[in-house]
């Protein structure tokens, strides 16, 4: 573990409800109670954010203190005698709830939060059954601040959680409190609307139903949903998201149970952009081009047509090209490369490359424990971000670094082509005009970084090819422990590389037996058959194109056969995030007419009479675990919703010397490659399409 050197802590002994406990001096009383299993109700106190002491729910009795004390702001001290259930405390809780409810509309039967509401729960447990207030309740109409954020002031209990998560957690600071007393309410940064990340963190953290989400509001009662923990299918950060599903429809994405690598964090894509799944343009039937037009056909006709075309081309000695996807599972990508190399006997295999992982692994040859995890970003003493607008392109990684800065005073350094949000707390933030200046800027930081105890370097496609080795040499020159993250764009960009969707590298970065063509060369070559699985690569000069996709992308629209595939929210299998952490998907819904890519490939193989092994995710995973270097990840961890870091080769990696093929798509918070176009949640916000390195962040 990389943690800052712990300073000597003294412990104190105190008594809570007659029980003697010891705790490090300075720990908050409410935390000590929690550890002891003694519940102290709290609204405004929220672990990880600044103290507010606004709600007074956490009052406890402490001997020698004249009045009840807010346990959320009192550090424990030697000899304290605390009572959390004395008659005075019980009465105070009742009174606080009576105050909180004095203007509350109590519209629980129609409130989104009903059943999951902390105010309901506390009133149930500690509240009074009646109120002494006879005044008319202040009512104000609900307000829409954006397509995804709504605010209902009468329900608000002014706990400031939303304000703090937005300001401290995200670094956005879009929410505030206006006026005072009974008129006090939360306000958005643009007067009557929001201009922000649209991440919905404020909605999730709200203990009551004051902030509600455009995607979910008034759609269901929470207990009518099933909750499916899976992995977000947008960016490479690999956040776990818990999908709320009712009658085969996803209606909510959140991670309130804090499971997974990301705790409660999700950006807007993880929280709302599941809506592409039910977009009306979703393909639900195979299509074959007949007389120039793509027409719907049955699965059996389509599969037979693909198999026949593949077999005939093979028999005639024709050429193939295969382009795989960056959202497909590891199993699908592994199976696809096997299909290409063993089945079609072609080495023309590629995918959309967005970060130079092979070059990094090659440069790190001989070193071990040098690839950072998302946990490391929260624990490292220092981090250096190169060439990425992290808060936009890698929201969760940015969140980890910011939390690290807030909780452990980590130093963050950025060297980017423009202003980034990290600059507001960074130890140093340098900008460069062109990538040729990049290493010069790094030299400027050298002495400061040398003084750090350790460092994690995150770098984008701004550093690729030979520059990666140069960067590692720079890291070596610092004389401290350095770990690396090669930033890639999409949910399984890393897995596509690890599984060998490359013309020169097989699974596990081993040299491919034969070298093939890279994607642009395939498109230019006028191959007899181009097979595109989950990518919008274009068809180039290919004579015949088979596309597997969820939508009629430009590539699919130009294809000869189109097979409708299932989304990541509809299948199992594993994906690997930007830090190499492997996680398991869980199917949440199904879309009639579609099939997972793995099944489609398996069925084509069967039609062709090829024996490529059993095509279930579990079976292929077993093959990957035993055959792909570094993928022998512990099953119990990934099967129970955890993440395990794959440890790829420690050795030289033969590079194809084509760094120009590595290109980040530069997605913002509101775009997500092809998928983003089909998410109305993303395209409907005013911030869409967003801008990297924008001055006003």
Partner 1 sequence: MTFSPDLEARFEKLVASYPEGRTRSAVIPMLMYAQDELGAVTPELVAEVAKRCKVPPIQVEEVIGYYSMLHRKPQGKYHVQVCTNISCLLVGGEELYHHASKKLGIGHKQTTADGIFSLEEVECMGACSWAPAVEIDYTFHHHVTPEKLDQLLDGLKKPQ
Residues 123-152 close enough to bind ligand SF4 by CB under 6 A: 149
Q: Which is nearer to partner 1, 626 or 696 (CB)?
A: 696
**Binding partner of residue 68 among ligand SF4, ligand FES, partner 1, none, CB under 5 to 8 Å per kind?**
none
Query: Could you say whether residue 41 binds ligand SF4 (CB under 6 A)?
Result: no
Q: Which is nearer to ligand SF4, 165 or 323 (CB)?
A: 165
**Binding partner of residue 176 among ligand SF4, ligand FES, partner 1, none, CB under 5 to 8 Å per kind?**
partner 1
Query: Could you say whether residue 54 binds ligand FES (CB under 6 A)?
Result: yes
Pair 342, 336: CB distance under 8 Å = no
Tokens of 622: 């077993």
- Residue where the block lists tokens 């010069």: 440
User: Burial of 33 by CB count in 10 Å (0-12 exposed, 13-18 middle, 19+ buried)?
Assistant: buried
How near is the Cβ of 523 to partner 1 at its closest, in Å? 47
Q: Using CB under 6 A, which of 29, 43, 528, 682 touches ligand FES?
A: 43
User: What is the C-alpha end-to-end distance of the chain, expressed in Å?
Assistant: 32
Query: Could you say whether residue 157 binds ligand FES (CB under 6 A)?
Result: no
**Binding partner of residue 199 among ligand FES, ligand SF4, partner 1, none, CB under 5 to 8 Å per kind?**
ligand SF4
Query: Could you say whether residue 57 binds ligand FES (CB under 6 A)?
Result: yes
Q: Is the dihedral of CA 539, 544, 546, 551 positive or negative?
A: positive
How near is the Cβ of 191 to partner 1 at its closest, in Å? 9
Closest CA to 335 of 58, 566, 612, 554: 612
Q: What secondary structure, in 3-state letters, does 90-126 show?
A: HHHHHHHHHHHCCCCCCCHHHCCCCCCCHHHHHHHHH
Pair 99, 57: CB distance under 8 Å = no
Query: Could you say whether residue 70 binds ligand FES (CB under 6 A)?
Result: yes
Residues that bind partner 1 (CB under 8 A): 167, 172-180, 187-189
Q: Which is nearer to ligand FES, 6 or 37 (CB)?
A: 37
Q: Which is nearer to ligand SF4, 266 or 547 (CB)?
A: 266
Residues 428-467 close enough to bind ligand FES by CB under 6 A: none
- Residue where the block lists tokens 């090669």: 486
Query: Could you say whether residue 162 binds ligand SF4 (CB under 6 A)?
Result: yes
Maximum C-alpha span of the chain: 93
Residues 287-306 close enough to bind ligand FES by CB under 6 A: none
Q: Which is nearer to ligand SF4, 500 or 587 (CB)?
A: 587
Query: Could you say whether residue 232 binds ligand SF4 (CB under 6 A)?
Result: yes
Q: Which is nearer to partner 1, 64 or 180 (CB)?
A: 180
Query: Could you say whether residue 42 binds ligand FES (CB under 6 A)?
Result: yes
Residues 178-197 close enough to bind ligand SF4 by CB under 6 A: 186, 194, 196-197
180 backbone dihedrals φ, ψ, rounded to 5°: -150, 175
Q: How far is Cα 240 from Cα 261, in angstroms, rounded to an integer? A: 7
Cβ-count burial 177-206 (b if 16+ within 10 Å, e if not): eeeeeeeebbbbeeeeebbbbbbbbbbbbb
Query: Could you say whether residue 161 binds ligand SF4 (CB under 6 A)?
Result: yes
**Preceding peptide of 370 cis, ω within 30°:** no
Pair 357, 370: CB distance under 8 Å = no
Query: Could you say whether residue 56 binds ligand FES (CB under 6 A)?
Result: yes
Tokens of 575: 């994906």
Binding site for ligand SF4 (CB under 6 A): 149, 156-162, 165-166, 170, 172, 174-175, 186, 194, 196-202, 205-208, 210-211, 232, 234-235, 237-239, 266-267, 269-270, 395-396
Binding site for ligand FES (CB under 6 A): 42-45, 53-58, 70, 72
């Amino acid at each position: 573990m990389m943690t800052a050197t712990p300073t000597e802590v003294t412990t104190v002994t105190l008594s809570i409800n007659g029980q003697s406990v010891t705790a490090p001096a300075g720990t908050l009383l409410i935390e000590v109670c929690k550890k002891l299993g003694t519940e102290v109700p709290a609204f405004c106190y929220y672990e990880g954010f600044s103290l507010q002491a606004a709600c007074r729910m956490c009052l406890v009795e402490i001997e020698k203190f004249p009045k009840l004390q807010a346990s959320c702001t009192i550090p424990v001290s030697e000899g304290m005698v605390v009572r959390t259930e004395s008659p005075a405390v019980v009465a105070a809780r009742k009174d606080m709830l009576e105050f909180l409810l004095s203007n509350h509309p109590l519209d629980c039967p129609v409130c989104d939060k009903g059943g999951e509401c902390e105010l309901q729960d506390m009133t149930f447990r500690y509240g009074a059954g009646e109120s002494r207030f006879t005044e008319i309740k202040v009512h104000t109409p609900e307000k829409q601040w954006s397509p995804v954020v709504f605010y209902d002031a009468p329900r608000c209990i002014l706990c400031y959680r939303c304000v703090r998560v937005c300001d401290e957690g995200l670094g956005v600071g879009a929410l505030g409190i206006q006026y005072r007393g009974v008129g006090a309410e939360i306000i958005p940064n643009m007067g009557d609307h929001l201009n922000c990340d649209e991440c919905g963190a404020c909605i999730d953290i709200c203990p009551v139903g004051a902030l509600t989400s455009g995607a979910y509001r008034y759609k269901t009662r929470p207990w009518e949903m099933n909750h499916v923990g899976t992995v977000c299918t947008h960016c490479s950060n690999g956040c776990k998201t818990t999908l709320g599903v009712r009658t085969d429809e996803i209606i909510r994405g959140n991670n309130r149970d804090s499971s997974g690598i990301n705790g409660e964090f999700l950006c807007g894509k993880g929280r709302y952009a599941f809506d592409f799944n039910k977009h009306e343009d979703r393909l639900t039937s195979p299509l074959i081009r007949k007389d120039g037009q793509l027409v719907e056909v049955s699965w059996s006709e389509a599969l037979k047509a693909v198999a026949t075309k593949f077999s005939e081309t093979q028999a005639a000695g024709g050429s193939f090209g295969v382009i795989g996807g960056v959202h497909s599972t590891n199993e699908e990508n592994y199976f696809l490369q096997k299909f290409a190399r063993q089945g079609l006997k072609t080495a023309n295999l590629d995918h959309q490359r967005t970060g130079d992982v092979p070059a990094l692994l090659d440069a790190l040859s001989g070193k071990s424990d040098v690839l950072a995890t998302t946990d490391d970003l929260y624990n490292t003493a220092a981090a250096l971000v190169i060439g990425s607008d992290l808060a936009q392109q890698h929201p969760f990684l940015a969140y980890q670094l910011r939390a690290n800065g807030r909780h452990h005073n980590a130093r963050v350094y950025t060297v980017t082509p423009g202003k980034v949000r990290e600059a507001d707390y960074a130890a140093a933030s340098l900008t460069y005009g062109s990538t040729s200046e990049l290493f010069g800027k790094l030299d400027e930081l050298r002495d400061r970084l040398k003084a750090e105890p350790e460092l994690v370097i995150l770098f984008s496609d701004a550093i690729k090819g030979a520059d990666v080795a140069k960067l590692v040499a720079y890291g070596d020159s610092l004389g401290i422990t350095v770990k690396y993250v090669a930033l890639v764009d999409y949910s399984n960009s890393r897995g596509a590389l690890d599984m060998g969707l490359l013309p020169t590298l097989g699974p596990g970065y081993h040299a491919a037996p034969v070298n093939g063509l890279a994607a642009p060369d395939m498109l230019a070559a006028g191959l007899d058959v181009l097979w595109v699985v989950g990518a919008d690569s274009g068809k180039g000069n290919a004579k015949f194109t088979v596309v597997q996709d969820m939508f009629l992308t430009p590539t699919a629209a130009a294809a000869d056969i189109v097979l409708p595939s299932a989304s990541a929210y509809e299948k199992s299998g594993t994906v690997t995030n930007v830090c190499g952490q492997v996680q398991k998907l869980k199917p949440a819904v199904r879309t009639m007419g579609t099939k997972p890519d793995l099944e489609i490939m398996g069925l084509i193989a069967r039609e062709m009479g090829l024996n490529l092994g059993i095509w279930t995710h579990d079976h292929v995973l077993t093959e990957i675990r035993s055959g792909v270097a570094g993928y022998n990840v512990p099953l119990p961890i990934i099967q129970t919703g955890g993440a395990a870091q794959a440890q790829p080769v420690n050795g030289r990696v033969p590079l194809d010397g084509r760094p120009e093929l590595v290109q980040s798509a530069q997605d913002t918070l509101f775009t997500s490659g092809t998928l983003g176009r089909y998410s109305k949640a993303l395209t409907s916000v005013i911030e869409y399409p967003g801008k990297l390195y924008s001055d006003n962040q």
